[in-house]
Chains A and B, each alone.
Chain A
Amino acid sequence: DAKTTQPTSMDCAEGRAANLPCNHSTISGNEYVYWYRQIHSQGPQYIIHGLKNNETNEMASLIITEDRKSSTLILPHATLRDTAVYYCIVRVGGSQGNLIFGKGTKLSVKP
């Protein structure tokens, strides 16, 4: 699986958009970008995934650059409950197979 690089930490004001970047310059053509988050030692939670096109669901939006070497997870209106560690994972698509978690980005949403 391709390696990812994320900032160690970020702050965001409550109600503002949180934009979390991820670099994955060695991504292969059949690898998807996945985002999970972990709220304070709870089990990781799936957020969104994408291959080439931008994606949006009820939780977030995922913007993938045209060359697919980087992506941005957007939480449009961050709340205090969005404070968590966010993991960008690149792997071949599908739910089966292990997830390889990096250190992620610690997002702190402040009032």
Chain B
Amino acid sequence: EPEVTQTPSHQVTQMGQEVILRCVPISNHLYFYWYRQILGQKVEFLVSFYNNEISEKSEIFDDQFSVERPDGSNFTLKIRSTKLEDSAMYFCASSELDTLSHEQFFGPGTRLTVL
């Protein structure tokens, strides 16, 4: 069964450093998302991406964040200068372009720890 994959599974970085989290969405999906979950808190939407541009973003997704689809398979989230409060699980998700489709498929997540 096709699945969303994410790398790395765990990333440790120093405050102020740049990190890039990588995702490979399901191959025929055209909508891509990033969500995050701070330990013990709710899953929060960050950004959605369609047709090579951001379609929606939350107030969390400030100028420190960017997304890119550098090739036909990867979808990345970059945090330019990490802060302690960026420590969280980051989930990538993808979905089809299909009016009958209702499901978003989530990856296993990347645990980001900022020291």
Q: Give Cα A97 to B103, complex, Å.
A: 11
**A interface residues with partner B (beta carbon < 8 Å):** 32, 34, 38, 41-46, 49, 87, 93-103
**B side interface size, CB within 8 A:** 31
Among the listed A38, A45, A95, which residue makes an inter-chain contact with B31, where contact means beta carbons less than 8 Å apart?
A95
Q: What total of A-B pairs shows CB separation below 8 Å?
A: 63
**B interface residues with partner A (beta carbon < 8 Å):** 4, 31, 33, 35, 37, 42-45, 48, 50, 55-56, 58, 89, 91, 93, 95-99, 101-109
Q: Give Cα A52 to B44, complex, Å.
A: 27
Q: Give Cα A102 to B95, complex, Å.
A: 21
Q: Give Cα A40 to B48, complex, Å.
A: 24
Residues of B near A94 (CB, < 8 A) are 99, 101-102
Residues of B near A102 (CB, < 8 A) are 42
